[in-house]
Structure 1
């Protein structure tokens, strides 16, 4: 009697299809509820929105089944749902502005176009990138591209300054925020660099007062990353982007070396220039003042945005005013930087927490892919991209709720903005690709030869996710 145990890895594509359909349907329903709440009629372009959502779902499902059949089934549905909710809230802002201020704006229409482009680029990444490990070849090229993108807003002709920060470029009438794309290049660079230096960074070098310091030869790129973050803070007066990139590097250092000393070193290196910026840069100092006391009579003018955002969230209460029944137009930039206040007003505390839970699940899925993947580069890249999303959500939501000073980053997939939305869709595609590598059976992984099972023993990959056993006598 010989017992043969075979393992069949479940792809879960049916679950993904169900979740994608549900996410798209909820997004379209939210869009329709905005007009029902505002004017009592369905939007004229509801059929168009529904067709576009259906096409996006079909294309994404087909591409994943073709190129990444073992990918995590929850990543893309979460992204589609967040994108749909954001589109509905932006549409509510548009209708409120058009109704109460006689303005004619169409941020939702632009966001829909960027959504289509982002989904197309995500599908292209999945089709063209068969193995994420290929990206390790372009470690230093990624560093050069990321640095160039970050410095582009300082160019005299194409660089633009807006609300005290110089973080935009304008070419042929189209604006773009290069830092959104630069964060992807820097995540690639940090992952490629740290995976080759993780042992020396973790073991070599002196130890002072219980803190492990790296050798000077390994400390060079760290100083370059620090100097680049300081340059962004000083010349572009953008505390949020500076914090994002330096925090990304320190977090990936911790993941690579598993040493808490890197978090201490990172905090010590970032704190002095941040204090100098707060005390010397008027734009940053004003944000600190608004964080401390936005409702005082002398601060209400400069801090009007934060004050109105707080009142908007308070008016939403527990369950919100309802989609299309709030006044998101009262808060400046209620469609972009302060979209969380618009969402909290119309969906209430329950809806705001539900959206934060979606972000938490997305980050958890990214970290799950990082833990399950077999190569160090993929672990660092997936962990870094997950940290980027988590840090942006914390900084934005913390800023509008006065947990921390306002920094000016955008809420991923929700806020209006083409550069942010498109780049975050690319990040989602990279996470799907790496989750496929993490969940794929060992015998079917790219570059892996299938192992021959031994007679009378269990056969199949030991790291196959959620294996289904078939026992035959």
Structure 2
């Protein structure tokens, strides 16, 4: 019999606190730099805004330290830095346009989103409980998608009917629908994974599942896509399709699903460009952006896209500097085209840093999915990380003309309360799953050479090292007795 001593693993909370300080310095420094460049003095409300952002970060940090002590220590600081940079750029555009409402609204929605993240961490103690609501999540997701089509509360903005109005507030239910439908996809796929992988016909090199096995999930996905097309929301339709294919690939580990998804996406894109005028206009603006007729077309012209590209080109490698460019000349610079505004004033280097921050969040989310021990958590974390990364790709790809502009917004940077709240909830869920993934396994029970338990196992209470209860309150290590 041998005694093996294990060091107690670090939680990473001290590192998280240090990174939060750096993130707050970046956010507050950007806000101050904007005011200095435009007004020549620090903003009068600098202390208030800095203090509010600091309180927000500290509250979430303390809750994570208490409720999810083993959560990934990098995700929260990176998100705070992105959110702070977004607030600074929206404030900068407000100063240039002579308005003051967008930055204040964004700060308010930041507080609401952080409160939603706190509530999520507080209520959901174990992510596996969400699996119980697989079909409830499907129904809830479809109801959320239908809400904008209802009279009285549904409204059309810029040609898309994806908003609901409740009194003075407007909200985009599709942002929450992507989370609850991801719960449904994960819960259903983890149950049917073996059937989807092994059963079904084989055509050429592709293994297809039986239709009856894919029935419920195809119904939910197809209905959501039809609703979103009816709402003229190209970006969210693309996001839901990508989420469906990605989670199906993670569940089955078959590359054929990626190939099939790309073929279906290409066919659907061509069909949509021919059948729907608003989709065709975006494709035309993408392929013929510099054509004078397309550029001057209203609505649906490419003027916004071309202006954003010229703005980024004028920024060059290092940018014009915060507060020293002209991002306000681009329509919707604080929402749809905030990446172009940041590219102009921070340059290619600054934009690459922002993309690296996004990559870190997505990578840490994928790492949580790989490390967690249950299949539902793996699928759900992978889906949430993919949604985050895919949204960034679609936004940046549209602004740089890799793909058509879709109308999605950059997470945590762009103005928009719905996006902020949903993304803060996603971050809370990733923190919860990463806590489960990084939490050390329970100590092994002591066994004797003959394979049985020690006769006095646990007799001296939970505080005695070497017993089943593990180390006492003051111990810095855990001692286990294992067979050689």
Give yes or no for TM over 0.5. Answer: yes
Q: Secondary structure at the match of 1:161?
A: strand
Match of 1:52 in 2: 52
Higher relative contact order (CA 8 A, sep 6+): 1
Q: Tell me how far 1:454 sits from its aligned partner.
A: 4.5
Say if 1:124 and 1:229 are closer, same or farther in 2 by CA, change over 3 A: closer
Paired residue for 1:242, among 219, 237, 243?
237
Greater CA deviation, 51-60 or 198-207? Answer: 51-60
Q: Secondary structure at the match of 1:299?
A: helix
The Cα RMSD (Å) is: 2.1
Match of 2:67 in 1: 67
For structure 2, which runs of at least 5 residues remain unmatched after alignment?
Answer: 450-465, 468-475
Query: Could you list the per-position Cα deviations for residues 145-184 of structure 1 after superposition, in whole angstroms to 9, with x for gaps in the alignment?
Result: 1111111111122222222221111121311111111011
C-alpha contact 1:317 1:348 (8 A) present in aligned 2:
yes
For 1:293-312, list aligned pairs within 5 A: 293-301=288-296, 302-312=301-311
C-alpha contact 2:145 2:224 (8 A) present in aligned 1:
no
Q: Tell me how far 1:226 sits from its aligned partner.
A: 4.2
Separation of aligned partners in 2, 1:247 and 1:2:
52
Match of 2:38 in 1: 38
Paired residue for 1:452, among 445, 449, 464?
445
Match of 1:446 in 2: none
Match of 1:436 in 2: 435
Q: Secondary structure at the match of 1:175?
A: strand
Paired residue for 1:131, among 106, 126, 133?
126
Separation of aligned partners in 2, 1:44 and 1:256:
53
For 1:259-278, list aligned pairs within 5 A: 259-278=254-273
1:331 is aligned to 2:330: yes
Match of 2:283 in 1: 288
Q: Secondary structure at the match of 1:166?
A: strand
Separation of aligned partners in 2, 1:367 and 1:226:
23
C-alpha contact 1:230 1:273 (8 A) present in aligned 2:
no
Say if 1:130 and 1:234 are closer, same or farther in 2 by CA, change over 3 A: closer
1:210 is aligned to 2:205: yes
Q: Tell me how far 1:61 sits from its aligned partner.
A: 1.4
Separation of aligned partners in 2, 1:112 and 1:328:
20
C-alpha contact 2:91 2:100 (8 A) present in aligned 1:
no
Say if 1:181 and 1:226 are closer, same or farther in 2 by CA, change over 3 A: closer
Match of 2:222 in 1: 227
C-alpha contact 2:188 2:217 (8 A) present in aligned 1:
no
C-alpha contact 2:199 2:210 (8 A) present in aligned 1:
yes
Query: Could you list the per-position Cα deviations for residues 214-246 of structure 1 after superposition, in whole angstroms to 9, with x for gaps in the alignment?
Result: 112112124314422441353112111111111
Q: Secondary structure at the match of 1:169?
A: strand
Match of 1:365 in 2: 364
Separation of aligned partners in 2, 1:267 and 1:226:
16
Separation of aligned partners in 1, 2:272 and 2:310:
29
For structure 1, which runs of at least 5 residues remain unmatched after alignment?
Answer: 99-103, 444-449, 461-467
Separation of aligned partners in 2, 1:48 and 1:219:
53
Q: Tell me how far 1:432 sits from its aligned partner.
A: 0.3
Bigger radius of gyration, 1 or 2? 2
Separation of aligned partners in 1, 2:7 and 2:325:
53
Q: Tell me how far 1:3 sits from its aligned partner.
A: 5.2
Query: Could you list the per-position Cα deviations for residues 378-409 of structure 1 after superposition, in whole angstroms to 9, with x for gaps in the alignment?
Result: 00000000000011000000001101011111
C-alpha contact 1:225 1:246 (8 A) present in aligned 2:
no
> How many residue pairs get matched?
454
Q: Secondary structure at the match of 2:183?
A: helix
1:116 is aligned to 2:111: yes
Q: TM-score, normalised by structure 2?
A: 0.90
Query: Could you list the per-position Cα deviations for residues 337-390 of structure 1 after superposition, in whole angstroms to 9, with x for gaps in the alignment?
Result: 000001101111000000000000000000000000000000000000000001
Separation of aligned partners in 2, 1:52 and 1:13:
21
Query: Could you list the per-position Cα deviations for residues 281-338 of structure 1 after superposition, in whole angstroms to 9, with x for gaps in the alignment?
Result: 1111111111112122111121110010001111111111111111111000000000
C-alpha contact 1:21 1:57 (8 A) present in aligned 2:
no
Greater CA deviation, 362-371 or 111-120? Answer: 111-120
